[in-house]
Amino acid sequence: MSRKLQRYVTRVSICAAWVGVFTFGVWLPWAQADSGLVAKGEKAYAAKKCSVCHVINGKGGKMADDLTSVGSKRDAAWLHKFMKDPKSIDSSNKMPAFRGSDEELEAVVAYMASLK
């Protein structure tokens, strides 16, 4: 799938989720992260040593952003794009691109998005 199509699908999915929230007062089921995926993301976050630089709930390093409530500030699409290629968002950013499988990246994104 082309990047342009992926961005379009992501935007449509996000819009549909918000329609569900405002129309029905609930998140659509597919718009919510699977709790198993969130748990895998938390484990991958630890395994990848993200806490050397980042802090969550007062634990971790202080060299980079506090991620305690990152999910209330950024959506999953933004987090995915940023973690895959941080310099595409901010060319002066010092964070390295995520190193791991696509499945690990999706899990870490789900974990980050759950932090509210």
> Is the domain of 5 the same as that of 15?
yes
Q: Does the pLDDT at position 3 exceed 70?
A: no
> Is the domain of 4 the same as that of 57?
no
> Is the domain of 18 the same as that of 74?
no
> Is the domain of 41 the same as that of 74?
yes
What range defines the domain where residue 51 resides?
Answer: 33-114
The pLDDT value recorded for residue 64 is: 94
> Is the domain of 26 the same as that of 46?
no
What's the mean pLDDT when you consider all of the chain?
Answer: 83
Per DSSP, which regions of the chain are E strands?
A: 55-56, 59-60
> Is the domain of 58 the same as that of 99?
yes
79 touches 70 (CB < 8 A): yes
Per-residue pLDDT reduced to its tens digit, 30-79? 445 688 999 999 999 999 999 999 999 999 999 999 999 999 999 999 99
Number of domains in the chain: 2
- pTM of model > 0.75: no
> Is the domain of 37 the same as that of 68?
yes
Helix, strand, coil content of the chain in percent (nearest 5): 60, 5, 35
